[in-house]
């Protein structure tokens, strides 16, 4: 196929298929999907499941709309409103998909099989264990919490990853109020019990703090007037600012709103130990350690790798990484048939400097040993598809076209008539790879990856028929694809800040903050619901809150 396509591009090479023509319809390929979170369900929703035999493994038989989990912690939205049963999702689409409520504990890429354990009624003698083989495996296992091995965190802190976590938090907040209401409790003790500490000032921690604050001032203070004065919320953040993945203007807005609300911000502090009644923090600048008494602590300081992913990475020689590396087509490069999407994975973008000689050779059609502007322009689109950092670099340097970039490398010369040799070409592009961006671990990325991968799967046959694809350039060793690489499209992000206010960062450097942004938030989050059932439930939860 490589030869036939001329340009060195290969399809998903399933060359056997082309030869055995009039045989009975070939066995459907088996696709096993691990995980039913954002990435997994997005893949399943968009996959044409009539083409494949699809099996899905997940210990949770529902999809959870994680962006609304902070609202569940304080009852603004009910837990049932943010979950959608997996089986219902398939049924609605009339899809022929098998689901098993189980946990995958081992991936065996050599046997092309996954080992699973039933999540319901697992027998001690291992009867709940089973094995599934696959032709293609889609790993969408998400991430787990990361305590950075801080002592006491696992035992004493709450997390906010799952629906159950949100429900536990809700109960625990009320428990603190009831504990502090018991007679004969000293004032100091009351202050301790009613000190709610959030560790991590990222979007989840901030949103939870805002929810908690609203819950306290709107509801609990009225129900527990005697102890209302002892309540305190603190956010501990190791960086200098909260919301540091957001635009600076949003961070500033959020910080001043929290200050007005009386939420304490301890920035520049690192948590080094948690015991049952106090948190040890260390000031990063002075190195001084302090004990912070607390009643309830929520840890939202980062995400970590699931053991089954770590084990798999060790098997394929990715041992030292934090997330499973894939190529730009979301395939694990060491395995022919394993794909990874969502929080468990990260894309390693190929560097243009690794392929620079090949690119030069392909572009130099007349074999002159030099490139003209026209020769470069002819391959420019392919280069930008394959190496998005080129465009990002030019944008960051305010360059209008490729000639600006090349001219920088060859000195001052006339744009139209310039010619570059390989050394000059290399020199011109040598800083481009500094612009390689990693995609964040968000639902937005996971959903786009799932959608993209399903699209690739749906078009696999088509790709075999048309191996040229849009990419005539190949980086060495990446000849497996003729599909455009995955490209993340950032649609913006929200930070709800409580008191019916929110901040939003939208594409095109657009920032909006305040009450109207909260309305935007309501409408976006209502429209993003996975089903009409959850949409109606969520909207009626919000309405209920407004009325009562
Ligand atoms: P998940 O959605 O975590 O799904 C992982 C799936 O794998 C689950 O179904 C799980 O049950 C399953 N699984 C786990 N272990 C196994 C196993 N051993 N075998 C089989 N299956 C397994 N992102 C945004 O873009 N915007 C937001 O506003 C936002 N808010 C958030 C708020 C909170 C409180 C949290 C926790 C996250 C938020 N995120 C947000 C991040 C977003 O939820 C994640 O990026 C997203 O869930 C990643 O999708 P995923 O499919 O990779 O993983
Ligand atoms: Mg998933
Ligand atoms: Mg999820
Ligand atoms: Mg990822
Ligand atoms: Mg030439």
What pLDDT, on the 0 to 100 scale, is given for residue 263? Answer: 96
Sheet holding 29-34, edge to edge: 129-133, 113-118, 97-108, 52-58, 29-34, 136-139, 338-340
Query: Is the Cβ–Cβ distance between 205 and 198 less than 8 Å?
Result: yes
CATH of 153-304, one of 3.40.1390.10, 3.50.50.100, 1.20.58.220, 3.30.70.3150: 3.50.50.100
Q: Which run of H or E residues covers position 132?
A: strand 129-133
How far apart CA 284 and CA 293 sit, in angstroms, is 19
* Ion ligand 5 residue ranges (Cβ < 5 Å): 364, 366, 368
Is the Cβ atom of 300 under 6 angstroms away from ligand 1?
no
**Pairing between strand 501-506 and 83-85?**
unpaired
How far apart CA 195 and CA 183 sit, in angstroms, is 18
Pocket test for ligand 1, best of 34, 35, 323 (most atoms within 8 A of CB): 35
Is the Cβ atom of 306 under 6 angstroms away from ligand 1?
yes
How far apart CA 447 and CA 281 sit, in angstroms, is 37
Q: Among residues of the chain, what percentage have pLDDT more than 90?
A: 60
Is the Cβ atom of 450 under 6 angstroms away from ligand 1?
no
Half-sphere exposure of residue 339, counting CA atoms within 13 Å on the CB side? 26
Which DSSP string corresponds to 417-442? T-EEEHHHHHHHHTTGGGG--PPPSS
Is the Cβ atom of 37 under 6 angstroms away from ligand 1?
yes
Beta-carbon contacts of 61 under 8 Å, excluding residues fewer than 6 positions away, are: 36, 85, 86, 87, 99, 101
CA–centroid distance, 85 to ligand 2, in Å, is: 14
Which atom number of ligand 1 is nearest to the Cα of residue 442? 45
What ligand is nearest to the CA atom of residue 143?
Answer: 1
The rounded Cα 520 to chain-centroid distance in angstroms is 22
pLDDT tens string 118-147: 988 655 566 789 999 999 999 999 999 999
The rounded Cα 87 to chain-centroid distance in angstroms is 24
Residue 9 has pLDDT above 80, yes or no: no
Tell me the CATH class for 352-434: mainly alpha
Examine domains 2-143+305-348+440-465 and 153-304 and report if their fold is the same: yes
Instruction: Give the pLDDT band (50/70/90) at residue 472.
Output: very low
Pocket test for ligand 1, best of 87, 442, 505 (most atoms within 8 A of CB): 442
Determine the Cα angle at 544 with ends 541 and 546, to 5°: 115
Classify 396 as helix, strand or coil.
helix
pTM for the whole thing?
A: 0.89
Domain boundaries, the chain: 2-143+305-348+440-465, 153-304, 352-434
How many angstroms separate the Cα of 477 from the Cα of each of 165, 283, 316, 324, 358?
44, 48, 17, 19, 12
Query: Is the Cβ–Cβ distance between 342 and 38 less than 8 Å?
Result: yes
Residue 224 has pLDDT above 90, yes or no: yes
Query: Is the Cβ–Cβ distance between 143 and 322 less than 8 Å?
Result: no
What number is the ipTM of this complex? Answer: 0.96
What pLDDT, on the 0 to 100 scale, is given for residue 221? Answer: 86
Which DSSP string corresponds to 187-213? HHHHHHHTEEEEE--SHHHHHHHHHHH
Architecture of domain 2-143+305-348+440-465: 3-Layer(bba) Sandwich (3.50)
Two tokens, residue 306 = 């699931």
Beta bridge partners of 339: 138, 331
What pLDDT, on the 0 to 100 scale, is given for residue 122? Answer: 56
Is the Cβ atom of 442 under 6 angstroms away from ligand 1?
yes
Q: Which of 189-193, 331-335, 446-450, 544-548 has the lowest mean pLDDT?
A: 544-548
What pLDDT, on the 0 to 100 scale, is given for residue 227? Answer: 93
Query: Is the Cβ–Cβ distance between 115 and 106 less than 8 Å?
Result: yes
What pLDDT, on the 0 to 100 scale, is given for residue 2? Answer: 33
How far apart CA 308 and CA 313 sit, in angstroms, is 9
How far apart CA 345 and CA 85 sit, in angstroms, is 25
What average pLDDT does the chain have?
Answer: 87
CA–centroid distance, 370 to ligand 5, in Å, is: 4
- Residue 481: closest CA among 360, 317, 341, 326: 326
Nearest CA to ligand 1 atom 36: 161
Nearest CA to ligand 1 atom 53: 142
- Residue 261: closest CA among 209, 200, 333, 185: 209
pLDDT tens string 352-397: 999 999 999 989 988 999 999 889 988 888 888 889 999 899 888 8
Which atom number of ligand 1 is nearest to the Cα of residue 40? 51
What ligand is nearest to the CA atom of residue 373?
Answer: 5
Classify 476 as helix, strand or coil.
coil
């Amino acid at each position: 196929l490589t030869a036939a396509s001329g340009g060195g591009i290969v399809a998903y090479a399933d060359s056997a298929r082309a030869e055995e023509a009039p045989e009975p319809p070939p066995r459907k390929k088996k696709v096993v999907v691990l995980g039913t979170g954002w990435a997994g369900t997005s893949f399943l929703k968009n996959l044409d499941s009539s083409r494949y035999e699809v099996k899905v493994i997940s210990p949770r038989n529902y999809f959870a709309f994680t962006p609304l989990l902070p609202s569940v912690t304080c009852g603004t939205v009910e837990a049932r409103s943010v979950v959608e049963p997996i089986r219902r999702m398939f049924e609605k689409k009339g899809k022929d998909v098998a689901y098993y409520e189980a946990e995958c504990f081992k991936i065996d890429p050599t046997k092309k099989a996954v080992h699973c354990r039933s999540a319901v009624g697992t027998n001690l003698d291992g009867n709940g264990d089973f094995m599934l083989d696959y032709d293609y495996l889609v790993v969408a296992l998400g991430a787990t919490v990361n305590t950075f091995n801080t002592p006491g965190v696992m035992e004493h802190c709450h997390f906010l990853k799952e629906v159950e976590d949100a429900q536990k938090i809700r109960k625990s907040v009320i428990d603190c109020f009831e504990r502090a209401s018991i007679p004969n409790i000293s004032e100091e003790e009351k202050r301790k019990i009613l000190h709610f500490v959030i560790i991590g000032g990222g979007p989840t921690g901030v949103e939870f703090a805002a929810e908690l604050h609203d819950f306290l001032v709107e509801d609990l203070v009225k129900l527990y007037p005697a102890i209302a004065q002892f309540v305190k919320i603190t956010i501990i953040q190791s960086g200098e600012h909260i919301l540091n993945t957001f635009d600076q203007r949003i961070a500033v807005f959020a910080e001043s709103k929290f200050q007005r609300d009386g939420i304490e911000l301890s920035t520049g502090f690192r948590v080094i130990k948690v015991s049952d009644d106090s948190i040890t923090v260390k000031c990063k600048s002075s190195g001084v350690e302090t004990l912070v008494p607390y009643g309830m602590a929520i840890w939202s300081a980062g995400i970590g790798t699931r053991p089954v992913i770590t084990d798999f990475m060790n098997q394929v020689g990715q041992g030292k990484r934090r997330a499973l590396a894939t190529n730009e087509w979301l395939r694990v490069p060491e395995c022919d048939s394993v794909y990874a999407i969502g929080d468990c994975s990260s894309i390693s973008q190929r560097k243009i400097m690794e392929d620079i000689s090949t690119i030069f050779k392909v572009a130099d059609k007349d074999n002159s040993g030099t490139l003209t502007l026209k020769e470069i322009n002819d391959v420019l689109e392919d280069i930008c598809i394959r190496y998005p950092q080129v465009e990002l670099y030019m944008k960051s340097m305010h360059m209008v076209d490729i000639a600006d970039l090349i001219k920088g490398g060859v000195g001052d010369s006339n744009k139209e008539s310039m010619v570059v040799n390989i050394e000059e070409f290399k020199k011109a592009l040598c800083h481009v790879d500094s612009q390689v961006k990693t995609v964040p671990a968000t639902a937005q990325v996971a959903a786009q990856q799932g959608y993209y991968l399903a699209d690739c799967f749906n078009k696999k046959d088509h790709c075999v028929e048309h191996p040229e694809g849009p990419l005539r350039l190949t980086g060495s060793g990446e000849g497996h694809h003729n599909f455009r690489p995955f490209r993340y499209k950032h649609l913006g992000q929200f930070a709800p800040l409580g008191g019916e206010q929110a901040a939003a960062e939208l594409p095109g450097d657009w920032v909006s903050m305040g009450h109207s942004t909260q309305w935007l938030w309501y409408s976006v989050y209502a429209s993003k619901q996975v089903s009409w059932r959850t949409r109606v439930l969520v909207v009626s939860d919000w309405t209920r809150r407004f009325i009562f």
